Amino acid sequence: MLQRIFALARKEFIQIRRDKRTLAMMIFIPLLWLVLFGYAFSFDIDDLSVALVDLSGTETGAKVASAIREYERFDVIDLADATEAGIDDAFYRNQIKMAIFLPPGFGEAGSDVQMQVLLDGSDLFAAQTGARLIQSAMEPVQADMRLEATERFREELTSQLKAQAEVRTQALLEQVPPQLQPQLGQALAAATQAPAPSIDLGAIAPTPTAPELTILYNPDLKSAPVMIPGLLGMVVMFMTTLMTAMGVVREREHGTMEQLVVTPIRPFELMIGKIIPYFFVGVLDFALVYFAGVYLFDLTFAGNLPLFMGLSLLLVFTTLGLGLLLSTVAQNQQQAMQLAMMIVMPQVLVSGMIFPLTSLPKVIQYIAYLFPFTHYVPIAKGMFIKGQDLSLLWVPATVLAFYSVAVVTVASLRFRKRLG
């Protein structure tokens, strides 16, 4: 039995080796996706084009404007038409993603005119980036302004206290008999000349309410560390499923399946013999994306690597089963490719790899949980980025294990039936 399986696997290896186009695909596509998902699908925008219109004419306004200008993530554009209408027009023409408008009256003492920040909602990521960044852009100004406000408050308080002290002193003097007035007056003047006791504003100054922001695990909010773990699974899923399916379908198309059926080869042996080479394909692609990803994007794997590899094997088995299942449905290689696409793409989109599960409508979420890949993503991300272990990930791991057994079982049943 082993020999027959070996003969089949060996034949399949030779065929894979000779199929230059598929070999290239095996290497080129994962790398292409790696680059796409790692670099191109970045959600951070480095140079946000921002228009700045300062009509305030105040010092505060100028301070804000200068802080904005100096903020390195903003690419400040001075509009030809520095008015509200000009801003609208610039948005319309896609010239800017964000605009900061300091209306007249902003920064004037006692004025409640607020600074306005406008964002282009048609570019989701830019808008979200802008909204997030404005905080840190305003940081230096706000610190200054706080300091200034405190100082002014202190001065104001001091002078008012002084004025009140003088009024009281005067009132007091009038109460005293005229012969004593000059003496009292001198004494009081001497007292008030003495340096005023320092006022501790700490007890009464408003507490800072702007939060100090710390981003854990992926401080630069780069997309690579978030995408690559999931990408590992995606690549394996696509390549293994597709190639396994094509390997079987090709046999059928060329008529050699008919010949195999009449040999002593049993259906089980045929299945295993077909799967083995593609198992190695899956592992190879996994390794390729892992090492390329770690190297190109300077990632570090935080968790237990052997455990991760073991759990990833579960995914490989599932996809092998999927490929077998596909082969019982597809009638030619072209169909196999189409079906593989149809199986992989939706899974990727709803699995939580790119868009968070919770951002999907509830119904879609439930559907997503039916897909095996959806359970691989938290494992990959959790282990890669946070170094989580089984104590946290046992649920998705169990589900994935269940899936791998279930899919392979169903696939082999159908496969056997199809052969007969």
Q: Which residues bind other proteins (CB under 8 A)?
A: 3-4, 6-8, 10-11, 14-15, 18-19, 254-266, 420
Q: How far apart are CA 99 and CA 52, in angstroms?
A: 6
How big is the chain by its Cα radius of gyration, in Å?
A: 35
Cβ(97)–Cβ(127) below 8 Å: yes
* Nearer Cβ to other proteins (69/254): 254
Rank residues 257 and 307 by Cβ distance to other proteins and give the closer one: 257
Vertex 165, ends 162 and 167: CA angle to 5°?
Answer: 115
Closer CB to other proteins, 120 or 251, in the complex:
251
Cβ 241 to other proteins shortest distance, Å: 22
Q: Which is nearer to other proteins, 260 or 307 (CB)?
A: 260
Q: State in angstroms the smallest separation of the CB of 2 from other proteins.
A: 11
Nearest to 268 by CA among 382, 400, 413, 142: 413
Q: How far is CA 61 from the centre of its chain?
A: 34
Considering the complex, what minimum distance in angstroms separates the CB of residue 264 from other proteins? Answer: 5
Closest to 382 in 3D by CA, of 230, 166, 231, 160: 230
C-beta of 29: minimal distance to other proteins in Å?
21
Of 354, 353, 382, the C-alpha closest to 217 is 382
- Min separation Cβ 18 and other proteins, Å: 5
- CB closer to other proteins, 4 vs 154: 4
Rank residues 7 and 307 by Cβ distance to other proteins and give the closer one: 7
Helix (H) or strand (E) holding 74, with range, is strand 74-77
User: To the nearest whole angstrom, how small is the minimum distance from the Cβ of residue 370 to other proteins?
Assistant: 34
Q: Checking DSSP bridges between strand 116-119 and strand 74-77, what pairing results, if any?
A: unpaired
- Selection from 269, 187, 233, 272 nearest residue 377 by Cα: 233
